[in-house]
Amino acid sequence: MSHIVRQSLTVVVSVVVLLPVVSPGVGVATAAHDDGDATDDVEWLDGNPDEIDGTIVVRLDTYRSAQQPEEGLGTQGASVDALQTHADRTQTGVIEWAERTEGVEVRNSFWLVNAVTLSVSPEAELDTLDTFDTVEAVHETFSITQSQPVETVDSADTVAPAEQDVTAGLDQISVPDARERFGARGAGATVAVLDSGVEAEHPDIDVERFQAFGSDGSPIEGEPTDPSPQSHGTHVSGTIVGGNASGTAIGVAPDADLAVGSVLNDCGRTGCSGTFEQIIAGMEWAVADVNADVLSMSLGAPGKTDRMVEPVRNARAAGTLVVAAAGNAGEGTSGSPGNVYDTVAVGAVNDDGSVADFSGGERVNKNEWSSPPEEWPDEYVVPTVTAPGVDVKSAQGTDGYGELSGTSMATPHVAGLAALVIGATEAGPGEVEQVLEASARKPAEAADDTTDRDTRFGSGIVDAEAAIAAAESGGPQLRMADQTPSPASSALGESLLTPLSVVMSADLPSPLDDLLANPVDADIAFGRRIRP
């Protein structure tokens, strides 16, 4: 039986597209209506305004810092307050215009992305939006789906989970070793899952908080449930925090607090989907209401979806590590938000350490995005890391278990491991990502067995024991790979202590302590230091 605290979301969400980050020192724009001719500065991303009929997202000015504080990124709440205040100030004019305009109705407003969603009919005079100084772009809403489970062929070498004390996936990423050596079980960390929902009555899942969202991003009251035909959200949640009621431990971080947002609740025979408004509403809830350390998203839209960039960057800058599936369309592909540079993107491996054929991965050119942040490198590699994602056993239904395959199943392994690191060390999101990569390993037979990311393994298969050891010891010996800033802290009114992309200078030797002999004192991200 689960202990559940339900919480309503007072400000619901809507949309976004990536907007360039402006350096601190730029003044904050007002919400004034120009009352003059159209400015022609508004981007109509989905066609002519005269042809739009349905739901549109009006994107307004990104928050610009008026000053640069002396210290690093402040508390999570301070960043959220800045975003909310800016949204309230800049959205007023558009909302008032919509309320008095025929054929236009306000659906929702959002602050994680500064946006207002409107229902519009063909007769609506949308050209008026061009006269608002604060409006930057307009686009239609769209749907995002679960990373669908993949059919796999049973392997003769696979050990049946029932014959083990832990699932094969937990064993593969050294969770038992991390528990024995560090007592790591995730206590003190909070993980939010955005998915189809969760069966809170499952004996292996303890849900601390639950919230469902309607298609417009508004909160829905009701008991926790999972409408997915595969129990997708329940399966994901079990891998993160599941217990061992069956005799086999299924969760990476069973003592972490779990919050589940039901955002993919339009379900059919093959899976579930949700609107962009639902996704953003869920992200806002996870960041502001739940105060999540880690946000796990086994979902995505194909290709480079610019509309996912801003919410990921703002969530990360507010103190929440975003972990997302790389996608199931194989090599040379990836999906959003997994392919957003500021996301920890997760690929899938088999139990023998080989990369699953379906696992997404590619080199992403910055120019493939329509408005990439200046801080992004010219090219980067997806996935960030890999984890078990084939025939993963976890919770299904109200009391059952089942095996599913996909990067959806790999993602919660990494989200749970991040919770272990946070619970053991109180590391910040930038530090967690660095140690996840630095401590990851590649099989000897990998085509690219260097410490650099490649399109199949990323930086390698995550390792719980090595990651916690690296974090507790001040980080392994590091070399500076580039000086590319990570999340958009400059866009949140906080100082930017240029975070660095850091990778291991060598493969992890055995024992790990040899590598940890020379820890460094390095600014990793968000003003947080890894100290010896």
Query: In 377-393, which positions are buried (b, 16+ CB within 10 angstroms) versus exposed (e)?
Result: beebbbbbbbbbbbbbb
Catalytic residue among 139, 232, 235, 413: 232
* Three-class DSSP category at 416: helix
Q: Of 484, 194, 468, 191, which Cα lies nearest the Cα of 342?
A: 484
- Which member of 65, 174, 408, 473 is catalytic? 408
Distance of CA 516 to the CA centre of its chain: 29
Q: Among this protein's residues, is 289 annotated catalytic? A: no
235 tagged catalytic:
no
Clarify whether 202 is annotated catalytic.
Answer: no
Residue (of 31, 33, 86) closest to 62 by Cα position: 86
Specify whether the CB–CB gap between 9 and 284 falls below 8 A: yes
Who contacts 175 (Cβ-Cβ below 8 Å, separation ≥6)? 166, 252, 417, 420, 464
CA distances from residue 398 to 39, 220, 507, 527 in whole angstroms, order as listed: 56, 21, 43, 43
Say which DSSP state 27 is in: P
429 Cβ contact partners less than 8 Å away, ≥ 6 residues apart: 293, 316, 319, 320, 321, 487, 525, 526
Which residue of the set 133, 171, 195, 351 is catalytic?
Answer: 195
Rounded to whole angstroms, the Cα distance separating 263 from 6 reads: 15
Kind of pairing, strands 54-60 and 104-110?
unpaired
Name beta bridge partners: 516. Answer: none
Sort residue 474 into left (φ over 0), alpha (ψ -120 to 50) or beta.
Answer: left
Residues labelled as active-site residues: 195, 232, 408
